[in-house]
Structures are given as structure tokens and as C-alpha cells.
């Protein structure tokens, strides 16, 4: 057992003697947490809205004013024909065209009924969809405001929908993305360091010397992995500190539970990196293989896009993705304050991944290259 300690001591010497590595460990979580939440921002603002007002009446001006006052829209007025303005949508400078036809006011006053046209550029589906629904709700609001005065409206029964957003009441997308970025960070650091771990000893030839030393396979692997695990936990700690300092995000649930999940999850994801390291014969191969897998793991984990919007078959595949479970767990702990009993399924799934991947990692570790 004392040998294990010496092996770990050696690993830490490698890490801290490297000029680049310690900086990387601190810089990566800070930089990623400062940049990514802004980049992966799903709030839709500044939708370019072109208003073509053919009615030029008091009511049409009121509607246009209401729309352009909204913070969602960057509104401008167009005088040209609809067809001409439509070229703006084609070349991407306009997201939505709102055309108020002639006789808009008259229709409203006389028959309490009138129509407007909304054309939406749906190349960016999220922006288009949200833009159309924002515009729709503003117009509804406008029309109900009109009839609020009239007696007819007072008689008519109305169903009003009031939304209460649970867990993230201000729909702050950072509260949603930052916990996921913590997971992203520990996966990246833990995975890539493990993937490079064994293969770098192979490349340097030092593997050859260790192979004739009386050190068992499991002990050698464990000694290589332990420092990576420590680094992963350190990255998590730094990451949580940054998310509190910069975004004021603090887990509603228990810190210890986050550490517990991260601790087990890291062993699973590091085992995955280790398997890549074992089968690669150069660091270059290991990095390429790791990049390929991590893209799939991260994009299919629900970090950036909700799992529920994926097709059914893709959702089934995500069941085989360990990242999915930890993202669910960390988000639930951060936002909902979930306890262990709420996350039992995720916890056991991660444990199972860890057991299977680690077993395979040790089995796939070969002493000699031939």
C-alpha cells in the first residue's frame, strides 16, 4: 500500500513540474464559466421587426407603438410594398414583418374584427417561434385592452392564462446553463487527462520500465487516476465558486450531494478516458478519439438542448450516456434543491456506469504494446 503512495507522489510531481498544466486547471473553469453562459444564451431579444402600416390610423399607430416599445423587438417602419420588404427576410436582415392592412381601424370600430399579417423568418427556429408568439401575445393584449372599455367585453367570459415559472421564476437561462457547464468542465478535464494518461507513458517509453516493476495493474492504474480525480474535484470547487461570485448561483440543495455525485461520476467518465488511452498508441489518436466521443456525449446529454425535444430514438440513446444523469442531478440539486431520495435513479445509473467502465478499463489495459 505504501507503494501506492509513492506512485501518486510521482504523478503529482509530473503535474506540478509541467509549466502549463497547473495554469490550465485553474484557467479552464474560470474562462469557460465566464464565456459559455453568455454564448449559450437562449433568451431571444432584439428580434428585427419591420412594421408596414397601410392604415395610418390612430389605432394602427397605437399597435405599432406597443410592439416597438417591447424589449424583445428592434422595430423599424417600412413604406415599401410587402414584396419589397420581404427581401429583407430573404437576406436575413429582418426576422418578422407585421403588415397592418388598410381599413384596420375601421374594421375594429365597426365590426370589432380586423386582421394583421405576421411573416416570420424561421431559419432560426427558436428565434422565429418565440418572436411570433411574443408578437401574438402583444397583439392579443392590445385587442383585449381595446375591448376592456366596451360593455360587450365586460359581459364576455374570458380565460386568462397566468404562468408561474417554478424553480427559475425569471426564466434566467444562466441558472439553467451554469450547473450544466460545471458538469461539462469536470467531464472535459477528467476525461481528457485520463485519455492522455497511460498513452503518454507509452509514448515516452516509461511504460516499459514500469512494466518490469513489481506493481500490479490495478495499483498502477489507480495511481494514475487518483490525481486526475483530485483535479476534477478541484475544478468543480473552483467552478462552483465562480458561479456564485459571477452569477450569484448557489445550489438550493446540499453541497455534499453535488460532491457525492461528482465523485462517482468522475470515476465513470475517467474510466472511459482510460479505455481510450489503453487502445490508443499515441496521444494524437487518444485526443481525436476523445473529441469524437465527447461531442456526442455532451450534445446528447441535455446540457444545451432539452432531451424532451429530441426524437424518441435519440432519447433512448441518451439512456446510455452517463453525462445525461449527472446533468439531471446537478441541475435538480442547483435549481430545485433535490435531495438524495429524489435522485436515487440517477445515482445508481452513474454507479453502474462506473462499475462497468472501470472493469473494462482494467481489462483492456495491456502491459506490453505487442
Partner 1 sequence: MKSSAAKVCNLRKVYAGNGGGTAALDGVSFDAEEGEIFGLIGPDGAGKTTLMRIAATLILPDSGTAEICGFDAARDCRRIRQIIGYMPGKFSLYQDLTIEENIAFFAKVFGVRKEDGIEYIEEIYRRLEPFKKRLAGRLSGGMKQKLALCCALIHRPKLLVLDEPTTGVDPVSRQEFWDILQNMKKIGISVLVSTPYMDEAARCDRIAFISSGKILKTDSPQNIVAAFPKKIFRASGGKMFELLKALRGSGLAESAYSFGDSCHIVPKCGARIEDLKKCLQFSAGNFSVAEAPATLEDCFMELNSGERNRS
Contact window for partner 1 (CB under 8 A) among 13-21, 82-90, 168-176, 277-285:
13-21
- Does residue 204 bind partner 1 (CB under 8 A)? yes
Give me 198's grid cell.
497511460
Of 90, 96, 88, 52, which Cα lies nearest the Cα of 70? Answer: 96
Q: Are 198 and 286 in contact (CB under 8 A)?
A: no
Which residue's CB is nearer to partner 1, number 153 or number 207?
Answer: 207
What is the rounded distance in angstroms from the CA atom of residue 303 to the CA atom of residue 36?
Answer: 12
- Does residue 162 bind partner 1 (CB under 8 A)? no
Contact window for partner 1 (CB under 8 A) among 7-15, 112-120, 137-145, 290-298:
7-15
Contact window for partner 1 (CB under 8 A) among 10-18, 56-64, 71-79, 226-234:
10-18
Site string for partner 1, 220-239 (x = CB under 8 A): --------------------
- Does residue 254 bind partner 1 (CB under 8 A)? no
Q: Which long-range contacts (CB under 8 A, 24 or more apart) does 343-352 make?
A: 343/257, 343/261, 346/261, 347/260, 347/261, 347/264, 349/322, 349/325, 350/261, 350/264, 350/265, 350/268, 350/322, 350/325, 350/326, 351/264
- Does residue 367 bind partner 1 (CB under 8 A)? yes
CB of 4 to partner 1, least distance (A): 10
Q: Which long-range contacts (CB under 8 A, 24 or more apart) does 246-252 make?
A: 246/33, 246/34, 247/37, 247/174, 247/175, 247/178, 249/174, 249/175, 249/178, 249/179, 249/334, 251/179, 251/333, 251/334, 251/337, 252/333, 252/334, 252/335, 252/336, 252/337
- Does residue 14 bind partner 1 (CB under 8 A)? yes
What is the rounded distance in angstroms from the CA atom of residue 73 to the CA atom of residue 194?
Answer: 47
CB of 10 to partner 1, least distance (A): 6
Which residue's CB is nearer to partner 1, number 2 or number 162?
Answer: 2
Contact window for partner 1 (CB under 8 A) among 201-209, 232-240, 291-299, 349-357:
201-209
- Does residue 208 bind partner 1 (CB under 8 A)? yes
CB of 33 to partner 1, least distance (A): 30
What is the rounded distance in angstroms from the CA atom of residue 224 to the CA atom of residue 206?
Answer: 13
Give me 99's grid cell.
403588415
CB of 225 to partner 1, least distance (A): 17
- Does residue 255 bind partner 1 (CB under 8 A)? no
Of 248, 197, 186, which Cα lies nearest the Cα of 220? Answer: 197
- Does residue 3 bind partner 1 (CB under 8 A)? yes
- Does residue 214 bind partner 1 (CB under 8 A)? yes
DSSP-assigned states of every residue in 268-313:
HHHHHHHHHHHH-SSHHHHHHHHHHHHHHHHHTTTSSS-GGGS-HH
Q: How many residues bind partner 1, per CB under 8 A? A: 23
Which residue's CB is nearer to partner 1, number 5 or number 250?
Answer: 5
CB of 24 to partner 1, least distance (A): 16
The per-residue b/e assignment along 99-126, b for 16 or more CB within 10 angstroms, e otherwise, is bbbeebbebbeeeeebebeebbbeeeee
- Does residue 213 bind partner 1 (CB under 8 A)? yes
CB of 15 to partner 1, least distance (A): 10
- Does residue 20 bind partner 1 (CB under 8 A)? no
Burial class (CB in 10 A: 0-12, 13-18, 19+), 131: buried
Contact window for partner 1 (CB under 8 A) among 156-164, 213-221, 282-290, 328-336:
213-221
- Does residue 252 bind partner 1 (CB under 8 A)? no
- Does residue 10 bind partner 1 (CB under 8 A)? yes
Which residue's CB is nearer to partner 1, number 2 or number 256?
Answer: 2
- Does residue 7 bind partner 1 (CB under 8 A)? yes
Binding site for partner 1 (CB under 8 A): 2-3, 6-7, 10, 13-14, 17-18, 204-209, 211-215, 367-368, 370
Amino acid at each position: 500500500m505504501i507503494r501506492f503512495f509513492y506512485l501518486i507522489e510521482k504523478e503529482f510531481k509530473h503535474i506540478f513540474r509541467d509549466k502549463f498544466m497547473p495554469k490550465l486547471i485553474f484557467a479552464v473553469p474560470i474562462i469557460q464559466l465566464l464565456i459559455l453562459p453568455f454564448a449559450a444564451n437562449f433568451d431571444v431579444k432584439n428580434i428585427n421587426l419591420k412594421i408596414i402600416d397601410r392604415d395610418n390610423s390612430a389605432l394602427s399607430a397605437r399597435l405599432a407603438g406597443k410592439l416597438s416599445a417591447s424589449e424583445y423587438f428592434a422595430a423599424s417602419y417600412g413604406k415599401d410594398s410587402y414584396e419589397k420588404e420581404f427581401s429583407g427576410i430573404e437576406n436575413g436582415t429582418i426576422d418578422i414583418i407585421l403588415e397592418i392592412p388598410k381599413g384596420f381601424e375601421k374594421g375594429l370600430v365597426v365590426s370589432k374584427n380586423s386582421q394583421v399579417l405576421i411573416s416570420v423568418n424561421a431559419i432560426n427556429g427558436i428565434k422565429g417561434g418565440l418572436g411570433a408568439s411574443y408578437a401574438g401575445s402583444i397583439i392579443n393584449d392590445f385587442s383585449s385592452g381595446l375591448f376592456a372599455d366596451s360593455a360587450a367585453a365586460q359581459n364576455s367570459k374570458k380565460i386568462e392564462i397566468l404562468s408561474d415559472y417554478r424553480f427559475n421564476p425569471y426564466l434566467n437561462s444562466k441558472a439553467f446553463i451554469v450547473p450544466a457547464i460545471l458538469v461539462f468542465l469536470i467531464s472535459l478535464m477528467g476525461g481528457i487527462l485520463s485519455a492522455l494518461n497511460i498513452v503518454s507513458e507509452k509514448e515516452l517509453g516509461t511504460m516499459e520500465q514500469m512494466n518490469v516493476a513489481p506493481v500490479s495493474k490495478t495499483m498502477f492504474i489507480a495511481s494514475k487516476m487518483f490525481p486526475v480525480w483530485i483535479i476534477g474535484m478541484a475544478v468543480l470547487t473552483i467552478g462552483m465558486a465562480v458561479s456564485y461570485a459571477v452569477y450569484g448561483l448557489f445550489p438550493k440543495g446540499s453541497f455534499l450531494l453535488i460532491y457525492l455525485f461528482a465523485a462517482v461520476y468522475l470515476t465513470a467518465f475517467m474510466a472511459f478516458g482510460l479505455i481510450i488511452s489503453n487502445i490508443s498508441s499515441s496521444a494524437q489518436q487518444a485526443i481525436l478519439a476523445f473529441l469524437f466521443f465527447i461531442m456526442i456525449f455532451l450534445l446528447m446529454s441535455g446540457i444545451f438542448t432539452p432531451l424532451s425535444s429530441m426524437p424518441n430514438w435519440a432519447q433512448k440513446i441518451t439512456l446510455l450516456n452517463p453525462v445525461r444523469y449527472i446533468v439531471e442531478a446537478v441541475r435538480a440539486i442547483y435549481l430545485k434543491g433535490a435531495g438524495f431520495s429524489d435522485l436515487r435513479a440517477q445515482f445508481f445509473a452513474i454507479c453502474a456506469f462506473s462499475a462497468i467502465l472501470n472493469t473494462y478499463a482494467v481489462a483492456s489495459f495491456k502491459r506490453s504494446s505487442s
